[in-house]
Amino acid sequence: MSSDRLISALGADHEGLRHLRRLSPRAAQRCEWPEWVPDRVREALAEQGILRLWPHQAEAATHAFAGRDVVVATGTASGKSLAYLLPVLTEAAAEGDGRTLYLAPTKALAADQARAVAEFDAPGLLPAIVDGDTPYEHRRWAQRFANLVLSNPDLLHHSVLPRHRRWRSLLKNLKYVVVDECHIYRGVFGAHVALTLRRLLRLAAHYGAEPTVIAASATAADPAASLSTLTGRPAEAVTADASPSPGASVALWEPETIEIEGEPQKASTLSETARMLAALTRLGLRTLAFVPSRRGAEIIAADAKARLGADPAADRIAAYRAGYLREHRRDLEADLREGRLLGVATTNALELGIDVTGLDAVLLCGYPGRLASFWQQIGRAGRGRDEALAIMLAKDDPLDTFLVHHPEAVFDRPVEASVCDPSNPYVLAGHLCLAAEELPLREADFRSIPGSREVADDLCERRLLRRRPGGRYYWVGSERPEVSLRGSGPMAVDIAETSTGRLVGTVDAAAAHRLVHRGAVYLHQGETYLVDDLDLDDGLALVHAAKPPWTTSPQEITHLEILGTRESLDLGEVALCLGEVEVTSAVISYQKRRIPSGEVIDTQMLDLPPQTLRTVAVWWTVEPEALGGVKDLPGALHAAEHASIGLLPLVATCDRWDIGGLSTAAHPDTELPTVFVYDGHPGGAGFAEQAFRKWTDWLGATRDAIASCDCRTGCPSCIQSPKCGNGNEPLDKADAVATLGVVLAAEDENAAVTVHDPRPEPAKSEEDDLWPGDF
Ligand SMILES: [Zn+2]
Ligand SMILES: [Zn+2]
């Protein structure tokens, strides 16, 4: 059936269809095997039906074989594995000493690779998975004999590097390090992985090896620079995708607006996705629905089944997510591959390299947050010569609403680069301690990371490191520092059931005050709990299962101090700045809101200590005289701040949840109406900086998103924020549009950016003002 007829079948009157884009088919290019690939390897691959290569595979493999770090950044199903496996298989076939460490961001992906490699029956190859589940004996075998160790950065960080003497044989002979799906390593997590890789390369060099890094990435802007940031070394990039594609029709869809109590509201994206999944399954089409949450995936699968009723197709729908048993997931993958299952609702667990392609249609329940993910998910559709169908359904938030009304921002925009900042002192300090404990630091170790020498000297002052005559830095702390690559770290708060002590989950300390304060209603994987007590000293929240007819929202006050301005842009009545700030916030009370009306039924005070965060912010100011027509200035700034946080993922590779904000009609440091947007991680993660560099795109999209929203006075699609610390008050939609208009009108292409002293003395403010903040 053609995509047009399918789309007609999905929405009889095309009510929700906002845009339809045809992606043209692409014919495959072929090339011969590089001369250096031995016959034994070609024969093993031919057994698997691989007779020739696509040029991007040969080019990337040849760079690696010649010892040059390389990243291959091409689309889904473009055979990236073969690009990195060719040199690895060649080394194994030659029965050389060279060994390979393969790193995947998830255990599931490493397992999938191991399965694929096992099918090759490659001469001389001895692969072994090493992850948290690997028994001691298997690990010992891998240490001594495996020439392809498949693992993940967490295991490298927690187990291999601290016990490097046991892994000496691997490190001494390390010839290749494969970094799969490397676009996943961004933000603070990316900085941690970058420093872990540098620790690996440093130890390998100590044992006498100089491995070549081969990376695979989704399509991304400037992948060579991203890989260089991860490794601290120059890299080549191969980006011309020569694999075939049958073409696709991609639809942008907005769930219809319905009137509830006189206010227009969007139909639920979940139920709209379930409706489409049921319809496509009924037509016998293999369909994958990508859903942002595990719970959402379960709901959509159940809802789609229910819609099919007695239709036998109902039995061919399932949910897929992390957290299922490994065997269960392997069964689901096989059922989907072989066509026993038709419709699967999945989290992004199926977005990564796991071998599920050849589908007829893909549904995206909401924009996945990044163009790289968008293309990765869309790329799952397409079988043989048949054109694929992909539909993205907008969620009820400012970014999704903007995108379905601005298809050029989806289709005609370069994919974001993966940004991370390994010189973030907050991330760097822990890794310098670990590195020094593994092997004393030398002067040369500081070269590839700006500012690392200063951080090391600071650690000496704190008596964690000691600099000996001769210039080496030694670890002298008593216990090896605990550093978690994925953020939550030792400060995490455990959530346990009061009556049984059963562990329900964990939240990081920064979020605990807002999510699990005494009296909070806490949602975890579809279950609702009431918090009995939060003990910050023990890092423990006690809860019991309950279903009260209300939700809770924390009330927060925030103080923000500008410590220094790194760069600024003077546009007359408007100014834009980037710099260091200190944010102090305290959760002071919480509101109980009735379900579903949201009416406030009670406010309870809390007694929680303030928390501080030193980070990087972007802020803009505007002279009050320029805002003549604006009546509700605090409401205008607050609304503009909310929407701009929602739109920031358009210009930076962050999630809305990585960002905080604050707006005020007069800030003591600027003495002007000011809106701040800051990175929610200590030391910053590079997001505010992206916003500063692309401020006209960012604030222009913010204004358009608010102005084009159908609502009258503001809704979750434009100016309301699910994480407002002040109950979404005050907010003024029309004045926000007017204010952003004034700011954007000040744009001056000739305005020069002033670069200030990068780390000036903190500016002291006398007043002690507190405002509602958003985090
Ligand atoms: Zn709205
Ligand atoms: Zn707010």
C-alpha 641 to ligand 2 mean position (Å):
8
Nearest ligand, CA of residue 719? 1
Contact 673, 666 (CB under 8 A): yes
pTM score: 0.77
CA distance 593 to 114: 50
CA distance 214 to 66: 12
* pLDDT of 695 above 90: yes
pLDDT at 489: 47
- Measured between alpha carbons, how far is residue 740 from residues 567, 569, 634, 734, 744 in Å? 21, 16, 13, 10, 6
Contact 462, 425 (CB under 8 A): no
Express each pLDDT in 115-141 by its tens digit: 888 888 889 999 999 988 889 999 999
Report, as an integer, the average pLDDT of 14-21: 85
* pLDDT of 687 above 90: no
Per the rule left: phi > 0, alpha: psi between -120 and 50, beta: everything else, 213 is beta
* pLDDT of 752 above 80: no
Express each pLDDT in 197-226 by its tens digit: 999 999 999 999 999 999 999 888 889 999
CA distance 360 to 381: 6
pLDDT at 775: 44
- Tokens at 361, concatenated: 């249609």
Higher pLDDT, 322 or 600: 600
pLDDT at 477: 82
The secondary element (H helix, E strand) that includes residue 155 is: helix 153-155
The secondary element (H helix, E strand) that includes residue 191 is: helix 187-206
- Highest-scoring range by mean pLDDT, 208-212, 718-722, 762-766: 208-212
Nearest ligand, CA of residue 772? 2
Express each pLDDT in 566-577 by its tens digit: 999 999 999 999
- Tokens at 8, concatenated: 């007609």
C-alpha 716 to ligand 1 mean position (Å):
6
The secondary element (H helix, E strand) that includes residue 590 is: strand 574-594
What mean pLDDT value characterizes the chain?
Answer: 87
pLDDT at 525: 60
Express each pLDDT in 231-285 by its tens digit: 999 999 999 999 888 888 999 999 877 766 666 666 788 889 999 999 999 999 9
* pLDDT of 670 above 80: yes
Q: CA dihedral defined by 536, 539, 545, 546, rounded to 10 degrees?
A: 20
Express each pLDDT in 616-626 by its tens digit: 999 999 999 99
- Measured between alpha carbons, how far is residue 51 from residues 55, 63, 84 in Å? 13, 21, 17
C-alpha 643 to ligand 2 mean position (Å):
10
Report, as an integer, the average pLDDT of 446-468: 91
Contact 614, 579 (CB under 8 A): no
C-alpha 193 to ligand 2 mean position (Å):
33
Report, as an integer, the average pLDDT of 291-302: 85
C-alpha 209 to ligand 1 mean position (Å):
58
* pLDDT of 87 above 90: yes
The secondary element (H helix, E strand) that includes residue 678 is: strand 674-679
- Return the exposure string of 358-395: e unless at least 16 CB atoms fall within 10 Å of the residue's CB, then b: bbbbbbbbbbbbbbbbbbbbbbbbbeeebbbbbbbbbb
Report, as an integer, the average pLDDT of 45-69: 94
The reply to whether omega before 730 is within 30° of 0 (cis) is yes
pLDDT at 88: 96
C-alpha 258 to ligand 1 mean position (Å):
13
Contact 404, 394 (CB under 8 A): yes
Q: Amino acid letter at 640?
A: A
Contact 543, 497 (CB under 8 A): yes
C-alpha 713 to ligand 1 mean position (Å):
7
Contact 657, 680 (CB under 8 A): yes
Q: What percent of the chain has pLDDT over 90?
A: 51
CA distance 574 to 567: 14
Nearest ligand, CA of residue 716? 1
504: how many CB neighbours lie within 10 A of its CB? 18
Confidence band, pLDDT 50/70/90 cuts, at residue 761: very low
* pLDDT of 554 above 60: yes
C-alpha 654 to ligand 2 mean position (Å):
19
Q: Amino acid letter at 741?
A: G
- Tokens at 317, concatenated: 């729908």
Contact 103, 152 (CB under 8 A): yes
CA distance 653 to 630: 33
Confidence band, pLDDT 50/70/90 cuts, at residue 742: very high
Higher pLDDT, 151 or 729: 151
- Tokens at 266, concatenated: 């969007």
CA distance 504 to 524: 8
Q: Which of 209, 166, 214 is nearest to 61 (CA)?
A: 214
- Highest-scoring range by mean pLDDT, 299-308, 478-487, 549-558: 299-308
Express each pLDDT in 434-454 by its tens digit: 999 999 999 999 988 888 999
Q: End-to-end alpha-carbon separation of the chain, Å?
A: 47
264: how many CB neighbours lie within 10 A of its CB? 15
CA distance 415 to 653: 10
- Tokens at 326, concatenated: 């490994």
CA distance 652 to 706: 20
